Amino acid sequence: MFNHSLKQNFFIPEIQTIEVPTREEIDEKYKWNLKDIYTDDEEWEKDFKYVEQNITGYSKFEGRITESAENLLACLKFDEEIGIKLERLYLYSMLAKDSDMRNAKYQGMDDRIKTIYSNVLTASSFIKPEILKTDESKLFELINSLPDLKIYKHSLNDLLRFRKHTLEREQEELLAMTSEITQVPYNTYSLFTNADIKFPKVADEFGNEIEMSHSRFYSALYSKNRDYRRRAFKAYLKPYRDNVNSFSSLFNGNLKANIFYAKARKYNSAREAALFKNNIPASVYDNLVEAVNKNMEPMYRWASLKKKLLKLDELHPYDAYVTLFDQKLEKKYSFEESKKIVLDSLKIMGEDYLSSLNKAFENRWIDVYETKAKRSGAYSSGTTFGVHPYVLLNWTDLLNDVFTLAHEMGHNMHSYYTGLNQPFAYANYSIFLAEVASTFNENLLLDHLINISESREEKLFLLEKYLNNISTTVYRQVMFAEFESTAHTKIEQGEALTPEVLCKLYKDVYQKYWGPAMVIDDEESYTWARVPHFYYNFYVYQYATGFAASEALALKVKSDGEAAVKKYLDFLKAGSSDYPINILEKAGVNMNSQEPILAVTKKMNQIINEIENLI
């Protein structure tokens, strides 16, 4: 029988279940304003109908593109007009869908834009082959004869690089028709991991029963409560383990799509095809992996130091991110407070940059908080001609969120300046440059926080953050790059990538990068199944090259002042008006050498030395 006296004499805390909020519960100022793209869905439908009705307009140029300079210009301008509308349509449907991935209407709009995009690719598939069939001297004679064509000179020169990888018109049309099909693995993966997966509930460090989610998992990894970290780690990876066959099928489908396109276009490998797009030498990728593999010692030192300071018999993957130092420094950071911190850290960039950043903060370019079925993680939407870029966040009040804000606003400013200063033909920037501006902001933010630190403990905390940046943005991303490259190679050589093979491959590479101090739980072997970047076709290596380049650029800004700031802003404005390697070289960084990577590994050792001296 229940003893009523116990209830009267002792407080029994009520266990609460904390649900992820709905979108309606979030204040409007923390949600992006899609009216800057279209005032409503009906306006979107009008542009969609316009594109749908005008696709046939491509036919009037077929077989006649290079008959005259006027024809060439008219074709390029028409293609731009359709492209500008397509980008705007896609941006609106993507952001609306990502706000709530259960919303069938926006899922449908997103599907429709992908279909019409495929139709446009098919209808315009004759353009590149027809231009490439034209004698080169005649092509440039046309360009030079009409002033309005000269702006396209770099893009047409770039097109000529693809001559041997461009097929006949009928074959190009067939490849264009496959684009919607080959997007199925990623689209299905995205829906599966963001909307359909049901995560278990676990007890948090306060005894509250919480539903695990993507954001809560990342937050849990920073908790000082090791039992909670372990529970969250196992709960989060359980659905990936339980559905490993499905994730393996999607992963294989994505890799095979990459390989299919590479073979169809006569590349030697999927990696060569991915790098060729931005004119990146294979040596850049190989130098990166080689330089990091030869300099694992800083990472091994860091793992051993973590194990020692955490007083652990064994270091596990769920111990990789928790701070080693005073928990009091793990304070909460509101979004409003964090905006000011980021602005203060970037004062060195001058009034123009700060004004642009404030415009983004004050005009709802950012979707801040996690809500039910909102896409996980964080991103900046990139350049959409004629529309400012948007940023998605899932704010949890951690210091890591402050860095994510600085990171994504780096992307945002890169896209904003590019859009303001480049014509449509160059109003984007290559993936190779994408992570430079983001990690540049993080570098200046960290320097600012270290400079204003008020105690030894706070400095240690921030130096640790610097090490985590290097370990996650360089070592971890190179680890991913090595896994991705090996997985593609195995399929290209005819090997089967079963779930068992993928798990072993990931576990082996994880062990190599963390070294003997790390004991790998079985759950970590399934991490390959949850990483969305493995669907981005050789994207991840550019986090590491971008970090190394940004370190070099930030050092120049800090040492050279206004002159270096001007060069950096020129870098942001350059878009794709030149090849990315050249754009970086103009800004003062040579990525054809291992030097920027080696400088980062050396800096990691120096920071570890500084931490060991302080403790």
* Residues annotated catalytic, as ranges: 408
Q: Which amino acid is at 589?
A: V
C-alpha dihedral, 277 to 283 to 284 to 286, nearest 10°: 110
| SS3 track for 126-176 | CHHHHHHHCCHHHHHHHHHHCHHHHHHHHHHHHHHHCHHHCCCHHHHHHHH
Q: What whole-number distance in Å separates Cα of residue 496 and Cα of residue 494?
A: 7
Owner of token pair 């407080």: 11
Q: What whole-number distance in Å separates Cα of residue 504 and Cα of residue 525?
A: 7
Q: Which amino acid is at 381?
A: S
Q: What whole-number distance in Å separates Cα of residue 472 and Cα of residue 145?
A: 51
Tokens of 177: 């028709």
| φ/ψ (deg, to 5) at 17 | -105, 115
C-alpha dihedral, 603 to 606 to 612 to 615, nearest 10°: -80
Contacts of 243 (CB under 8 A, 6+ apart): 192, 197, 529
What are 211's strand-pairing partners? Answer: 201
Contacts of 606 (CB under 8 A, 6+ apart): none
Cβ proximity of 356 and 452 under 8 Å: no
Strand 379-380, strand 366-369: pairing? unpaired
Q: Roughly what angle, to the nearest 10 degrees, separates helices 169-182 and 244-264? A: 170
Owner of token pair 């190009």: 172
Neighbours of 113 (CB within 10 A): 22
